[in-house]
């Protein structure tokens, strides 16, 4: 879509002039910005090709001081700004709605320090997640989060969205692993809280406010994060199962039998798998298909011990009929191949004509009821996939260990007939079960109007008050995150 439906440009924001451009050039230099429709195009459109803005300027500062000077000027001049990392966000938060200036962080990409005793890393916000992970690998450490977008997303973007991903089950959320942040506020003030302390009870923990704030109250420029030791022994297994009840039994049992070495527990349904196989070459690893799959990863320090634990667990799963078939990766390549299925689901869906992505938290026991109910609810015009049905399929996968399912509704087109059927129906479902309408992708422009399904009016009012206090002129990522109506 070219436009954000129903949104009107706020006239309070100044339109950018030649004079503004000259000022920005004096800060970032000629290499530090991009103009020109074609060159800017990739920065104006999101990863899903769903949201497109019309910015005429991308600024790429190299230092915190440059970010500060840019924001101070934009604040004075009332120029609206979109902070942008790797532009892999899935809710339209990283691209402009109208002509906001894009503040892309990719040139702030240096590691600042690493303490090899504590594992505490400090880095610029524009470092790519995978680059940091590879850098740490050489030192025997790893990043505490992992996601399929790791080759493009920035650590600053991860923190701004409070990304969850595939390792949250083991290493917890960024609210726990981030120890400090350097943030530039809307008026250019630099808030230096690059703490490298694990314990610090002096006053409000301000950094927590910026984790998951999606660029609406400050620009993250520096990060201090606790990184775990890289495990010496890693195993990956894939199981095929007949029912979602079996998935739950397998999860519960994995916590008992694998306990401290369990590092990921992911699931996907047959519809997701079929979508993957449609778009990628895939060498079958099991003789037949199953309605559900789980991918289990263990990470520990003693291979024999971990192998024994995993074997015992898998034998139990097969003997008592919880799992129908299973494979354990025999080498690094097979591990990558098995993870490749899970990591490839998002990209496979991206190759379909249109996808409505939902990212909800509800009690694990309800995940499949919700999916089935959506399948039933959306059987508009008959059967999925038949020419008269606008819905091609409903597929589910996700971080089952975190109670987070990704429900993806694949359609022939972006179609209000379908989206009106999903929203708010699905959000009502989530609210009835005290769930969250966004477990990890955030609100952006895709979910902001529905915040009331997960937060009370008092909480939303307080959020608006905080936004007004930290960004009184509303220049940071306008039209997003909070309900506009
Ligand atoms: P962007 O997309 O550029 O920006 C996202 C938001 O953060 C925007 O609102 C932007 O304004 C703001 N922002 C970016 N940088 C800064 C900054 N320095 N300061 C202030 N605000 C900033 N998400 C998950 O949680 N778990 C997953 O498992 C997961 N897997 C994914 C897999 C794929 C294939 C893709 C495409 C996406 C996936 N995502 C996942 C979503 C997305 O990758 C994450 O939300 C990621 O953290 C976004 O980082 P980014 O650098 O691309 O940020
Ligand atoms: C994932 O877990 O794969 C990501 O959150 C992206 C998605 O939902 O497709
Ligand atoms: Zn996810």
Closest CA to 438 of 92, 50, 147: 92
Fold entry, domain 233-347:
Alpha-Beta Plaits (3.30.70)
Overall pTM > 0.95: yes
Residue 53 · residue 95 · CB < 8 Å: yes
Counting from 1 in the atom list of ligand 2, the atom nearest the Cα of 343 is: 3
- Quote the ligand 1 centre to 88 CA distance (angstroms): 5
Q: Worst-scoring range by mean pLDDT, 11-20, 208-217, 372-381?
A: 372-381
Read off the pLDDT band of 380 (50, 70, 90): low
User: What is the CA 392 to chain-centroid distance, rounded?
Assistant: 24
Average pLDDT, the chain: 96
Phi-psi region of 29 (alpha: psi -120 to 50; beta: other; left: phi over 0): left
The stretches of 45-199 forming alpha helices (DSSP H) are 64-77, 129-137, 155-161, 168-171, 174-177
Mean pLDDT calculated for residue range 25-31: 98
The stretches of 280-424 forming alpha helices (DSSP H) are 303-319, 332-350, 367-377, 416-422
Cβ of 153 less than 6 Å from ligand 1: yes
Counting from 1 in the atom list of ligand 1, the atom nearest the Cα of 444 is: 9
Give the residue extent of every domain in the chain.
Answer: 18-107, 111-226, 233-347, 352-444
Residue 394 · residue 374 · CB < 8 Å: yes
| CATH (one of 3.30.43.10, 3.20.20.10, 3.90.226.10, 2.40.128.30) for 18-107 | 3.30.43.10
**Closest residue (by CA) to atom 2 of ligand 2?**
398
pLDDT at 150: 98
- Quote the ligand 3 centre to 283 CA distance (angstroms): 24
Mean pLDDT calculated for residue range 365-371: 96
From CA 358, how far away is CA 406, in angstroms rounded? 6
> Is ipTM over 0.90?
yes
pLDDT at 346: 98
From CA 108, how far away is CA 106, in angstroms rounded? 5
User: Which residue is listed with tokens 């359609």?
Assistant: 411
* 474, pLDDT greater than 80: yes
* 192, pLDDT greater than 60: yes
Number of helices (H), then strands (E), belonging to the chain: the values are 16, 16
Tens-digit pLDDT profile for residues 77-131: 999 999 999 999 999 999 999 999 999 999 999 999 999 999 999 999 999 999 9
Mean pLDDT calculated for residue range 11-35: 98
Fold entry, domain 111-226:
3.30.465
233-347 matches 111-226 in CATH topology: no
CATH class entry, domain 352-444 = alpha beta
- Quote the ligand 1 centre to 357 CA distance (angstroms): 15
pLDDT at 313: 98
Residue 214 · residue 480 · CB < 8 Å: yes
- Quote the ligand 2 centre to 398 CA distance (angstroms): 7
Residues 6+ apart with CB under 8 A from 458: none
Tens-digit pLDDT profile for residues 199-257: 999 999 999 999 999 999 999 999 999 999 999 999 999 999 999 999 999 999 999 99
Cβ of 149 less than 6 Å from ligand 2: no
pLDDT at 1: 45
Counting from 1 in the atom list of ligand 2, the atom nearest the Cα of 342 is: 3
**Closest residue (by CA) to atom 47 of ligand 1?**
158
From CA 45, how far away is CA 58, in angstroms rounded? 13
Cβ of 406 less than 6 Å from ligand 2: yes
User: Which residue is listed with tokens 């610090």?
Assistant: 200
Counting from 1 in the atom list of ligand 1, the atom nearest the Cα of 399 is: 28
Identify which of 350, 406, 444 to mutate to test ligand 2's pocket (most ligand atoms within 8 A of the CB). Answer: 406
Cβ of 212 less than 6 Å from ligand 1: no
Read off the pLDDT band of 2 (50, 70, 90): very low
pLDDT at 283: 93
Cβ of 324 less than 6 Å from ligand 2: no
Looking only at the bridges linking them, the beta strands covering 58-59 and 101-104 are: parallel
Identify which of 58, 157, 163, 346 to mutate to test ligand 1's pocket (most ligand atoms within 8 A of the CB). Answer: 157
- Quote the ligand 3 centre to 463 CA distance (angstroms): 25
Residues 6+ apart with CB under 8 A from 440: 161, 162, 163, 164, 165, 359, 399, 404
């Amino acid at each position: 879509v070219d436009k954000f439906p129903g949104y009107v440009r706020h006239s309070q924001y100044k339109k950018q002039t030649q004079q503004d451009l000259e000022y920005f050039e004096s800060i970032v230099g000629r290499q530090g910005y991009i103009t020109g429709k074609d060159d800017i195009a990739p920065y104006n459109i999101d990863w899903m090709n769903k949201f497109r803005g019309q910015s005429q300027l991308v600024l790429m500062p190299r230092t915190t001081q440059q970010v500060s000077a840019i924001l101070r000027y934009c604040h004075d001049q009332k120029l609206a700004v979109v902070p942008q990392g790797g532009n892999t966000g899935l809710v339209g938060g990283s691209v402009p709605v109208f002509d906001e200036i894009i503040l892309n962080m990719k040139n702030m990409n240096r590691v600042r320090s690493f303490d090899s005793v504590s594992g505490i890393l400090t880095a610029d916000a524009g470092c790519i997640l995978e680059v940091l992970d590879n850098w740490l690998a050489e030192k025997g450490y790893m990043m505490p989060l992992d996601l399929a977008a790791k080759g493009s997303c920035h650590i600053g973007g991860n923190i701004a969205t409070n990304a969850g991903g595939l390792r949250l089950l083991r290493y917890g959320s960024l609210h726990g692993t981030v120890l400090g942040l350097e943030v530039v506020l809307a008026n250019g003030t630099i808030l230096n809280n690059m703490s490298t302390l694990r314990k610090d009870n002096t006053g409000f923990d301000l950094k927590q406010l910026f984790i998951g704030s999606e660029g609406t109250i400050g620009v993250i420029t520096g990060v201090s994060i606790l990184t775990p030791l890289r495990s010496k022994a890693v195993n990956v297994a894939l199981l095929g199962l007949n029912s979602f009840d079996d998935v739950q039994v397998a999860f519960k049992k994995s916590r008992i039998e694998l306990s401290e070495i369990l590092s990921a527990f992911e699931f996907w349904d047959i519809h997701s798998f079929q979508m993957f196989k449609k778009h990628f070459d895939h060498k079958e690893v099991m003789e037949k298909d199953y309605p559900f799959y789980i991918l289990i990863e263990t990470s520990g320090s003693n291979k024999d011990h971990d192998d024994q634990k995993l074997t015992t667990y898998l034998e139990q799963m097969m003997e008592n009929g919880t799992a129908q078939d299973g494979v354990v990766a025999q080498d690094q390549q097979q591990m990558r191949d098995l993870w490749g299925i899970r990591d490839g689901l998002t990209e496979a869906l991206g190759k379909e004509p249109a996808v409505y992505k939902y990212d909800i938290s509800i009690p694990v026991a309800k995940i499949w009821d919700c999916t089935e109910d959506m399948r039933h609810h959306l059987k508009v015009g008959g059967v999925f996939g038949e020419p008269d049905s606008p819905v091609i399929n409903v597929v589910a996968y996700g971080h089952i260990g975190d109670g987070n399912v990704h429900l993806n509704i694949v359609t022939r087109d972006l179609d209000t007939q379908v989206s009106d059927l999903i929203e708010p129906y699905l959000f009502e479902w989530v609210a009835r079960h005290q769930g969250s309408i966004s477990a990890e992708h955030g609100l952006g422009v895709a979910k902001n109007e529905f915040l009331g399904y997960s937060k009370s009016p008092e909480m939303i009012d307080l959020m608006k008050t905080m936004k007004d206090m930290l960004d009184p002129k509303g220049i940071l990522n306008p039209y997003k995150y909070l309900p506009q109506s």
